[in-house]
Amino acid sequence: MTSRPRRRALTAAAALALALGITATSQASGAVPTEDTATAAAVQADNPYEGAKPYVNPDWSARAAAEPGGSAIADQPTFVWMDRIAAIEGSASARGLRAHLDTALEQGADLVQIVIYDLPGRDCAALASNGELGPTEIDRYENEYIDPIAEIYQDPKYASLKIVNIVEPDSLPNIVTNADQQPGATEACRVMKANGNYEKGVGYALHTLGAIPNVYNYLDAGHHGWLGWDSNLGPSVDEFKKAATTSGATVADVDGFAVNTANYSALTEPHFKVTDTVNGTTVRQSKWVDWNQYVDEESYGQALRALAVSRGFAADIGILIDTGRNGWGGADRPAGPGPTTSVDDYVNGGRIDRRIHPGNWCNQSGAGLGERPAAAPAAGIDAYVWAKPPGESDGSSKPIDNDEGKGFDEMCDPAYQGNPRNGNNPSGALGDSPLAGHWFSAQFQQLLQNAYPPVS
């Protein structure tokens, strides 16, 4: 496959302005469009979401609309997860990739959102979404998964669709934090680090899909409660760059990063800032923040973006934030800051993220829908998206036999008391949950009830 001119050439001033998240109007004076830049701009938009009409997945939509009150949000665009080779073809009960793209055309949509999610040895630090491919099956990943997806994407029939990919949630973050001697490290992640198949697979996906002019790749970058510490963020960006320069990929195949995919971290914490102090003690020392440099996804995403640009990613990359389940509204949402009796009282009393611990990730009790999907909501942010379709389970609360390669992760059992990755805290998961990806009506109901902004 040939590579294409992906980006407008930027003047140094425009590049700097973009790196700092300054909007187009304030940098317009420095940018002199040339013939070359005009052609490239016609090929690829800087932010594919700007002015776009995203595809609404009718399958998710029907499930949402069948729930009491669900029709209020059933017209929202959600990502479609290609979570196994068979998902490409589809089945009698599940629409395949072509069928989704065809339906998008019928809807008059011009943007389709897909999660690329089938790496060898998938989900190495958890069990709920272990995949179908074993740790060494990189050839099958490339030939039976990525290549067929690329073939469909390239069909001229779909040239009018901007196709946005979130590439391989959780994979590279796991290589950074769970594959060495850290307390939460797992043998499965050590194997994937040693064999390099996460980097090879991600690089192959970026390169192969990135060569198609109407495709936009956003590499998954965890969330602030995972990679926000400086000691994780720098190594993460290095790891992203390593994967983005493997298997023929270049940094130009990366249009941005996706944060908070399928997670629950707040978009913004309105009642405390990382720079606040209480009686001389910084909130970074609170138990909840635990020395993290970030307390929410918007600040994390913007910082990640600036760091990635400074380490060689394109100056016009953007961030997607999954806001499907990070609203944290409802009766328990704090109305103002916590008391200043101690730094923990202040943070715990004011934080809207009501999880027991920021490392909890499975079907969180008390969560609500977050911001509705929106284009270009803030500097450097390409879109708020619903990557994890609200109402789809993160994992089963007890073992369930299945042929999807899904394991049972105790983090989905409400009785589980935790492990080093969540500070040995209770899981905070809802009970009676089905397998990952299956419809979980009780969770959907809670998300609707605790939506913030509320659903009217």
Find the catalytic residue in 123, 220, 276, 409: 123
**388: helix, coil or strand?**
coil
> At 425, phi and psi to the nearest 5?
-110, 160
Nearer to ligand BGC, 347 or 411 (CB): 411
The single-letter code of the amino acid at 249 is A
- Mapping DSSP to helix (H, G, I), strand (E, B) and coil, where does residue 297 land? helix
Q: How far is the CB of 182 from ligand BGC (least distance, A)?
A: 23
Q: Which of these is catalytic: 220, 276, 322, 394?
A: 394
Beta strands 277-278 and 281-282, pairing class: antiparallel
- Annotated binding residue at 438? no
Do residues 186 and 409 lie in contact, with contact meaning Cβ atoms separated by under 8 Å? no
Q: How far is the CB of 74 from ligand BGC (least distance, A)?
A: 16
Q: Quick check: is 403 catalytic?
A: no
Query: Is 162:110 a contact under the CB 8 Å cutoff?
Result: yes
> Is residue 60 marked as binding?
no
Residue 59 is a catalytic residue: no
What span, in angstroms and rounded, lies between the C-alpha atoms of 289 and 75?
Answer: 36
Which residue has the CB atom at the shortest distance from ligand BGC?
437
Q: Annotated catalytic residue: which of 46, 170, 220, 276?
A: 170
Was 439 annotated as part of a binding site?
no
- Residues 328, 353 contacting (CB under 8 angstroms): yes
Looking at beta carbons only, is 301 or 434 nearer to ligand BGC?
434
User: 83 or 269: whose CB is closer to ligand BGC?
Assistant: 83
Radius of gyration of the chain from its Cα atoms, rounded to whole angstroms: 21
- Starting at the earlier edge strand, list the strands of the sheet with 80-82: 80-82, 111-116, 162-167, 215-220, 256-259, 318-322, 381-385, 374-378
- Return the ∠ at Cα 363 (arms to 359 and 369), rounded to 5°: 100
Q: Does the annotation count 276 as an active-site position?
A: no
| Cβ pair 117, 82 in contact under 8 A | yes
Residues within the interface to ligand BGC (CB under 6 A): 81, 83, 129, 388-389, 392, 394, 436-437
Nearer to ligand BGC, 297 or 394 (CB): 394
Give the nearer residue to ligand BGC in terms of CB position, either 241 or 438: 438
Least Å from the CB of residue 217 to ligand BGC: 19
Tell me the closest approach of the beta carbon of residue 78 to ligand BGC, in angstroms.
9
Please tell me whether residue 225 adopts helix, strand or coil conformation: helix
- Cβ proximity to ligand BGC: between 81 and 229 the closer is 81
Backbone dihedral angles phi then psi of residue 378, each to the nearest 5 degrees: -155, 165
Minimum CB distance to ligand BGC, residue 147 (Å): 21
In angstroms, what is the minimal distance from the CB of 410 to ligand BGC?
Answer: 16
DSSP 299-343: HHHHHHHHHHHHTTS-TT-EEEEE-SS----STTS-SSPPPTTSH
Q: Does 328 show up as a binding residue in the annotation?
A: no
Strand pairing report for 162-167 and 111-116 = parallel
Query: Annotated binding site for substrate: which residue ranges?
Result: 81, 83, 223, 226, 263, 361, 388, 392
Q: List, as residue ranges, the binding site.
A: 81, 83, 223, 226, 263, 361, 388, 392
Catalytic residues: 123, 170, 394
